[in-house]
Chains A and B, each alone.
Chain A
Amino acid sequence: MSLKSDLEQLKEKGLAQIKTVDSTKVLNDIRVSLLGKKGPITNVLRGMKDLSAEERPQVGSFANEVRDSLTEAIETKKQELQTQLLNEQLSAETIDVTLPGRPVEIGTSHVLTQVQNDIEELFIGMGYQVVDGPEVEEDHYNFEMMNMPKDHPARDMQDTFYITNEILMRTHTSPVQARTLEKHDFNQGPLKMISPGRVYRRDTDDATHSHQFHQIEGLVVDKHITMADLKGTLEVLAKHVFGADRKIRLRPSYFPFTEPSVEVDVSCFKCGGKGCAVCKYTGWIEVLGAGMVHPNVIENAGIDSKIYGGFAFGLGPDRFAMLKYGIDDIREFYLNDIRFLHQFKVED
């Protein structure tokens, strides 16, 4: 039985040694010295041939047991030491996470584009097409088709940059509507469109006037379009742009190309309608013009106004942006001070 007690002793001693080891190298030495070919356990197993047949399996199994428990202890210790080593290494690699990151520049979209995209996407979602048209227009499309024959006093309301008597810089995006209406085949369905773009007026540039600005006009023509539909559509627009709580109101107005014509006010998004500096203490802000398409405009496009009719509206992205972001000088949009432009990061 001395072999067994030797083994017992070996195990005790070995386990104690392993426990105190603090480096993988020493641990490896211990493994070699205990479990290696020249180690004591191998020796014990070699000495088994001298044992009786009864003792041999007992001692053998005990020796295996001792070897297993020592192996396991070494393995566990090894893991422990490696983890410790890694932790030390990671600790040494610590950086100051508050140092700034390497700069990456992303460009911004112009605020007017943001406003325009936002409105375009709203109307695309409602089944409208977005139609572009020429900025240099014919008097015919800019005025005459829009029920403003030569000498019409309303032409004075839109001071015009002429190139020749017949060619001009468009004063609104309505001519795009006239062109589209003229070509539209109602057998293919109703006409639902918006026409965004740059427009020009013969104005002196100041805080509230610009000889170049933007417009988005909308037009819906079919057999059964009502003014109630116009009101509903503008409500959707106003809530989308200025907030879900907004109300609108229509006031009579005059445009040569619509009849009835209305100005559209939205309840003040700043004060909610109680009255403040933004709405000049009225609770309402004038945001766009609209109306039912004038029968002459329908007829000018070669369409029977007794059967077809519709609504139209026009708004200014410049004005919308000024209202929405509290910009008080329209020239800011075209001077392109990078500090001004970079404020508008979010396309919402």
Chain B
Amino acid sequence: MKISYKWLQEYINLNENPDVLADKVSLTGIEVAGVRYPDKGLKKIVVGHVNSIEPHPDSDHLNICQVDVGESEPYQIVCGAPNVAAGQDVIVALPGSRIADNVKIKKSKMRGVESKGMICALQEIGFPENVVPKEYANGIYVFTEPVKIGEPVFKYLGMDDAILDFDITPNRADTLGMHGTAWEVGAMYHEKPTFEQPELTETATKAQDLLKVAVENKAVVPGYYLRIVENVQIKPSPMWLQIHLWNAGIRPINNVVDITNYIMLAYGQPMHAFDYDKLTRKEILVRDAKPGEVITSLDGEDHQLDPEDIVITDGVVPTGIAGVMGGLDSEITASSKTVVLEAAVFNGTRIRKTAQRHNLRTDASTRFEKGIDTASVTAALDAAASLLQQLAGGAVAQGVLVGNDIHPEDAVIDIRLDRINHILGTELTLAQVQAIFENLGFKVTVSDTDLMTVSVPPRRWDISIEADLVEEVARMYGYDNLPATLPKIAMTPGKFNPQQRFIRRSKTLLQSAGLSEVISYALTTKTKAQQFIMTADTALTKLDWPMTEDHAYLRLNLVSGLLNDIAYNVARNQTDLAIYEQGRAFTKKAGEIRPVEREYLAGAVTGLVSGDNWAQDKQVVDFYYLKGILNTYLADHDYTGDISYVANTDRPELHPGRSADVYVGEEFVGFIGQVHPAIAKAYAIPETYVFQLDLSTLLTLPTTALVSQSAPKYPATSRDIAVLLPDTVTNAQVEAVIKRRGGQHLQNIHLFDVYAGKNIEAGHKSLAYSLTFQNPEATLTENEINEQMTHITDYLTESLHAEIR
């Protein structure tokens, strides 16, 4: 809402620098987004009188004007505006003047003819296009009331003002009217506002003889009032009214429309005026719209009405969408004679939905949906009728037509002083608090030493409970004056829970291993959402009304996000990447609505671990590089169960020969593998390896409690063994055999060589292990170790057909 400083001065005694006022309002109640001074930066722009005009000899549209600017000689100004004419009082930018956008006007020649200055349109001196009266939109502005030649134009146009831009929160709709704003600002300066209610004289004609009114659904139209004004003469509004409107950002149209807008701005009460003669049935019926009904609104748009819309009808046909916009059929035009004025209270939710449904957010709908002062509806109606009488020569018919009568009541709230101080942490006195309430226009009765009974007028409908009053005290007292303390309450331990610690540890481990954290979008495409799923029996969750198809489904995996990130980086020539994400996957069983959120951890590597450099050859990422990281990560948790990797050829997004399911004990916890070349191609990424773990599962697995042991006192002994095996036998099988037959002192199995090729039978490979034995109690003898080695080799030969080399 644009608040004119001068308009405020009409209601309260205000003598404050507007910038200071703006700051104060921001800190006390409503954020002021900015202060605009309409005449700022403008100079040497004066009233001129066009003495005569003659066409420019070398132009078909320019005129040479002799303009009196209050000096001894008239100025010759060449003007291209189509509406310039002799006898007009106009806006003249003199040579050396500054107009809008800091443009400097100089003496010049236009097609060979000297021109001293410029005759201006309102836009040229800074008026926003949308407030300029239509008749001057495409030409110069012409004064219609007496002005003094040679005087600066600013005061005549209301530009010697400051316009404060109130950024109103939904609860403070009371400041969507100047009266409410005056109360708010007045309270800050301990000034009580005064509002003059214009006198109204009624004719002998009875309004009820002219028009019938009825409201069908009274629940959604709690107040509905009409007045009829006859013999109205449609014409432009006087200057003062036009100025009030355009400084508030509203375009002056004609006196009737302008008056309704002015009353809306002053009282915060939306008004509507329609043409009585266009009401075919001399009847107003307010009702819910019927399915299939159509109305053309004032802006010329057709609207299919919904039964949730409230319409104003002439008894049968809709003539307006209640609270939102009037209908084109009953519009006030230049020939309108009898005007029906409407002031009403409509259900806010209904109006909001209607405005949304028809994409018609108007000044009226905004006010109805946010809430209006139900106590001033008829005052606003009377004031509008009175102004029609004054400014349009109208005759106000006797009586108000009431469709539904509202009975506004004050909200009465009991509050104790110590309650206020208790909530705010202050030591305010009763007198201080009482003054704050009274400045806001609330009535206060004190009883029982510190109990206040506060009556809040309907103007402040946002106040209904104790906490609302506490806020009024807090903001008027000033948040700057509040002390700053820390809660003085019982101590509570602050600590992360096991899951939070686990996640933090996970991140630290992966970062130590060289992976950088990324955060991808949890909402993704249908295809990507369901790739890389952990278990087959999981269903997708779709947004009901997504913004784009790119973010329409909840992800079932984290890997697809990582691949997006890799694609983004690779496209920017960043080809060596090691990244991970920790976040949620949204799994669910088919048929369920709400997904289960599981914490996942996923990593992806591509390109080089390190490039060629003077000290070492480049190292390319491969399956085993990522597996090393994954295994180090898993081993850190000391699970009771063994970590194992089982080849899985069936994951559709992974290379069938290079992927494994990961188990801890018997529990499936995730997978690792190379992204299937077809999938990599679809993402436009090079060879990439990924893993994904279900942290929610990992968190539930048993771990071995640490019992510390002294460093071994007796030496360890190691023995090497090389076995020749068919290709199909896996390392895991060999290790399992060694482990089973290695005895209690076998401490470590270290695979130090894998060889196939020359000197090895085709279809076979050689695996070489170093086995470490250690007895914490004694030094192992040769014999003991030899015996164990024999067990191992025998069993390897027997069960795996291994040849010991």
Contact = CB atoms under 8 A, between A and B. Distances in A.
Given A102-B616, A236-B486, A260-B475, A295 B467 contact: yes
B516 A341 contact: yes
B369 A153 contact: yes
Interface in B388-437: 422-426
Contacts of A124: 494-496
Contacts of B624: none
Given A220-B487, A235-B484, A227 B169 contact: no
B516 A136 contact: no
Contacts, number: 257
Contact of B523 (A120, A190, A211): A211
A342 B516 CA distance: 8
A341 B425 contact: no
B541 interface: yes
A99 to B, nearest CB: 6
A232 B500 contact: no
A135 B597 contact: yes
Interface stretch (B25-33, B104-112, B675-683): B25-33
Interface in A324-340: 333-339
Interface stretch (B66-74, B263-271, B507-515, B722-730): B507-515
Q: Interface range on chain A: under 10, 10 to 19, 20 to 34, or 35 or more?
A: 35 or more
Contacts of B348: 153
B471 A252 contact: yes
Interface in B470-507: 470-471, 474-475, 479-480, 482-497, 499-500, 504, 507
B489 A132 contact: no
Contacts of A250: 479-480, 482
A130 interface: yes
Interface stretch (A16-24, A55-63, A82-90, A107-115): A107-115
Residue among A113, A224, A292, A336 facing the most chain B CB atoms (10 A cut-off) = A336
A136 B595 contact: yes
Contacts of B349: 151, 153
Nearest to A292: B423
A338 to B, nearest CB: 5
B578 interface: yes
B520 interface: yes
A167 B479 CA distance: 38
A106 interface: yes
B189 to A, nearest CB: 17
Interface in B497-546: 497, 499-500, 504, 507, 510-523, 541-546
A52 interface: no
B492 A154 contact: no
Contacts of B465: 259, 295
Contacts of B171: 254
A336 B518 contact: yes
B593 interface: yes
B579 A163 contact: no
Interface string B165-187: 00001111000000000000000
A269 B141 CA distance: 48
A286 B160 CA distance: 32
Interface string A121-134: 00111111110101
A274 interface: no
B423 A226 contact: yes
Contact of B467 (A153, A220, A228, A259): A259
Interface in B223-281: none
B70 to A, nearest CB: 39
Contact of A154 (B31, B170, B579): B170
Nearest to B609: A105
B466 interface: yes
Nearest to A204: B547
Contact of A336 (B474, B492, B568, B583): B568
Nearest to B564: A336
A138 to B, nearest CB: 8
A120 B616 CA distance: 42
B613 interface: yes
Interface string A218-254: 0010111111110111011000000000000111111
A309 interface: yes
B615 A102 contact: yes
Given A129-B495, A231-B482, A260 B471 contact: yes
Contacts of B690: none
B337 to A, nearest CB: 40
Given A252-B28, A309-B423, A295 B466 contact: yes
Nearest to A125: B494
Q: Taking each of A161, A236, A249, which has the highest tally of chain B beta carbons within 10 Å of its own beta carbon?
A: A161
Chain B residues touching A, range? 35 or more
B805 interface: no
Contact of B479 (A164, A231, A294): A231
Given A227-B482, A236-B486, A292-B470, A341 B169 contact: no
Contacts of A120: 496
Interface in A262-297: 262-263, 292, 294-295
B738 to A, nearest CB: 33
A211 B551 contact: yes
A151 B347 CA distance: 12
A334 B522 contact: no
Contacts of B513: 107
Interface in A70-116: 99-100, 102-103, 105-110, 112-113
Interface stretch (B78-86, B123-131, B569-577): B569-577
A109 B511 contact: yes
Interface stretch (A42-50, A173-181, A195-203): A195-203
Contacts of A294: 467
Contacts of B485: 226, 228-229, 231-232
B568 A335 contact: yes
Contact of A338 (B423, B470, B544, B577): B577
Interface in B591-648: 593-595, 597, 609-611, 613-616
A260 B579 CA distance: 44
Contacts of B423: 226-227, 292, 309
B572 A337 contact: yes
A301 interface: no
Contacts of B482: 227-228, 231, 250
Given A202-B547, A251-B27, A342-B516, A163 B495 contact: no
Contacts of A153: 170, 348-349, 352, 369-370
Contacts of A312: none
Interface string B544-575: 11110001001000000000010011001010
Nearest to B352: A153
Given A107-B580, A190-B492, A162 B484 contact: no
A163 B593 contact: yes
B544 A163 contact: yes
A82 B475 CA distance: 86
A300 interface: no
Contacts of A211: 521, 523, 547, 551
A115 to B, nearest CB: 12
B761 interface: no
Nearest to A188: B492
A260 B172 CA distance: 13
B468 interface: yes
Contacts of B517: 107-110, 113, 341
Pairs A-B, 4 closest by C-beta atoms = A228-B425, A226-B425, A254-B169, A260-B471
Given A200-B523, A295-B466, 16 more contacts: A100-B615, A106-B511, A110-B517, A110-B518, A128-B492, A136-B595, A153-B170, A162-B543, A190-B487, A211-B547, A224-B422, A226-B424, A227-B474, A292-B470, A336-B568, A337-B574
20 contacts: A102-B610, A124-B496, A128-B494, A136-B541, A153-B170, A161-B546, A162-B545, A163-B593, A189-B492, A190-B490, A211-B547, A212-B522, A226-B424, A228-B425, A228-B484, A229-B486, A252-B475, A292-B423, A334-B520, A341-B518
